[in-house]
Structure 1
Amino acid sequence: MAGKIIANLIILGSGVLLRAFSQAYRQALANASKTGVAQEAIQNLSKSSKAMTVQEARMILGINENTSVEEMLKKYENLFERNANSGSFYLQSKIQRAKECLEAAEQAKDEKET
């Protein structure tokens, strides 16, 4: 008998919490749209998802336009390994993205020449 009462209380309580949560969520969305926070968040997401430029990639790896592909790869491996051992995952991912960007730029350059 007590188990049945406890089960009913749990079900009733979870229903009340679910309704309160959904109402609070709807209110938060309404407030965000009124103040422009939602639009600002969308703009920030689109800004951060922009592709890395070749110049940024060169700055991250510490190379210039005249650096050969072999030197770039050596620099990448050195920086990547140093950050893998004692650096941050964020820097390691930026180094990886820089290498990918420069490789893509080099591939596009080679395709234009042929």
Structure 2
Amino acid sequence: MAGRVIVNLIVMSSGVLARAFAQAYRQALQNASRNGVAHETIHNMKKVSKTMTESEARQILGVTENAPWEEILKKYDSLFENNAKNGSFYLQSKVFRAKERLESAAKKGAEGITGLNI
């Protein structure tokens, strides 16, 4: 009998909590639209780029702007193998994309890259 009362109490309280969270969420959306926060957030999201910049690629690989291509490859190989051993596919893919970005910049002859003889 006590178990049934406890279960009913848990079910009723979870329903009350769910309604309270839903109401709080609706209120937060109303406040955001009134203050213009939602519009500003959408506008800022348009500025976000999904492509990696050359600077980000250099930071990921830990190389300077004047690093020769051999050093970039050495850093890439080291980081790629370490992440392969430790099982971090996300970091491994970031390292790969960083090398790929620097490689494409070198092929295009982008300014600021020195010593990249591919």
Please classify the TM superposition score into its range, dividing by the shorter chain length.
0.5 to 0.7
Change (3 A) 1:57 1:18: closer
Q: Structure 2 matches for 1:17-56, cutoff 5 A?
A: 17-54=17-54, 56=55
Once residues 11 and 71 of structure 1 are traced to their aligned partners in structure 2, the CA distance between those partners, rounded to angstroms, is 62
Change (3 A) 1:43 1:76: farther
1:38 Cα deviation from its structure 2 partner: 2.2
Once residues 32 and 52 of structure 2 are traced to their aligned partners in structure 1, the CA distance between those partners, rounded to angstroms, is 30
More helix by share: 1
Residue number in structure 1 paired with 2:101: 101
1:27 Cα deviation from its structure 2 partner: 0.8
Once residues 43 and 77 of structure 1 are traced to their aligned partners in structure 2, the CA distance between those partners, rounded to angstroms, is 39
Count of matched residue pairs: 95
2:64 is aligned, of 56, 62, 65, to 62
Aligned partners of 1:63 and 1:72 also within 8 Å: no
Change (3 A) 1:28 1:11: same
Once residues 19 and 29 of structure 2 are traced to their aligned partners in structure 1, the CA distance between those partners, rounded to angstroms, is 15
Which runs of 5 or more residues in structure 2 are unaligned? 84-90, 110-118
Change (3 A) 1:38 1:103: same
RMSD: 3.5
1:46 Cα deviation from its structure 2 partner: 4.0
Aligned partners of 2:52 and 2:101 also within 8 Å: yes
Aligned partners of 1:76 and 1:99 also within 8 Å: yes
Once residues 42 and 71 of structure 1 are traced to their aligned partners in structure 2, the CA distance between those partners, rounded to angstroms, is 41
